[in-house]
Structure 1
């Protein structure tokens, strides 16, 4: 593999967690080479990848400009990227309380958004049998997460999660938000996300519209064709 680009990013053509790393790489202007693992072939569990991530999940990065440093878990990667390369602190904050609040939201994304949305997709699309109670549970959890975010964002003067600007806390949610809005709750009768969760929806669309995020989603859309 050529190391002409700074970062090798192991990801998946659909899996949201890899894409949130790509957003931050683009925002910071870091060059990266995406390696899309084929889950149907079990490449994420093969030794060629588990030598980097023993958990056999995406994403993982190799930073070739930092001694081929390997890191996995998407939110850990986001923290590393801003700590190491966001010298102007464009995507993070500098005050102590703000740092902890930012980390809080990364934990909530990793533990409260991703798993619930992921289970919703699994039972809606991939499970071997249809289990209505499981589908309903995780669709409701998706709406609950939307409600949590909406309540906080409605009180935020900036419309962002931390401080007065976009940070990795906001960017961490975007890809799962897209799948939640367009895939999970679109199948639920009587739900209008824009009307029921207006602060959440405005934030989602604002972050989605950022040039770096739009560029990454354009790549994503091309891969789905």
Structure 2
């Protein structure tokens, strides 16, 4: 790994959004200091953490004087500052990468997270389940997003044959659907193959990717 003086990541091993950033850091070979914030125990409510992120969510990246929240903003920042081959240096290609990050933020992670919470988190932790209507809407919206992704995946990764940091974000979201009723290789063969391709990378193991479903 390359060492970046002063880089610190406030994370939680079971958080899908924190996983996105850990994946990006692993793909870039960047060393950092992890600070674990246990969301299930409410550690995000501490005032010291709230000063870093008033929304009391992870991840937060500190890089020198910069404190940056929102996982996909962090990914874009890492791409711009350390991206080498993992982030486009052409404006049109960068716009495509950003488009996928925005797609994830608006249309994928929120709905995949609702299904994950219902299938994995609530049963294993005893935390409150989501309302049935919320889960139904999440399923409908995730289905539309998976249909779009299936239609647009033309190669191994989102930006054709080369892995980019945008894949870290979308891949982490898709991992939340493993074992759910939307884990359907018959309907979405390219999406499922893409997800498993990402899970087979060294960065997945290094980032602790399976912790989002292993809450034991």
What's 1:97 paired with? 92
| Residue 171 (structure 2) pairs with residue 180 (structure 1) | no
* In 1, Cα distance between equivalents of 2:150 and 2:23: 22
| Residue 210 (structure 2) pairs with residue 215 (structure 1) | no
What's 1:119 paired with? 114
For the aligned residue pairs, the C-alpha RMSD in angstroms reads 2.6
Shift of residue 108, structure 1, vs aligned partner: 0.6
Shift of residue 146, structure 1, vs aligned partner: 1.6
What's 1:34 paired with? 34
Q: Tell me the TM-score normalised to structure 2 length.
A: 0.85
Aligned residues: 209
What's 1:57 paired with? 57
Which one has the largest radius of gyration?
A: 1
Q: Tell me the TM-score normalised to structure 1 length.
A: 0.82
Task: Give secondary structure in 1 for the equivalent of 2:197.
Answer: helix
What's 1:109 paired with? 104
| Residue 71 (structure 2) pairs with residue 74 (structure 1) | yes
- Cα deviation 1:135-181 (Å, max 9, x = unaligned): 2222232222221111100xx2x332124301011111122211112
- Cα deviation 1:175-207 (Å, max 9, x = unaligned): 22111123xxx2x3xx65212101111111112
- Cα deviation 1:41-85 (Å, max 9, x = unaligned): 42212211111112211100111xxx3321110011011112111
What's 1:164 paired with? 161
* In 1, Cα distance between equivalents of 2:81 and 2:149: 28
Shift of residue 19, structure 1, vs aligned partner: 0.8
| Contact 1:17/1:58 (8 A) holds in 2 | yes
| Contact 1:174/1:207 (8 A) holds in 2 | yes
C-alpha change, 1:129 and 1:33, in structure 2 (3 Å) is closer
What's 1:21 paired with? 21
| Contact 2:198/2:204 (8 A) holds in 1 | yes
Shift of residue 5, structure 1, vs aligned partner: 6.2
Q: Which runs of 5+ in 1 are unaligned?
A: none
| Contact 2:183/2:192 (8 A) holds in 1 | no
* In 2, Cα distance between equivalents of 1:30 and 1:90: 14
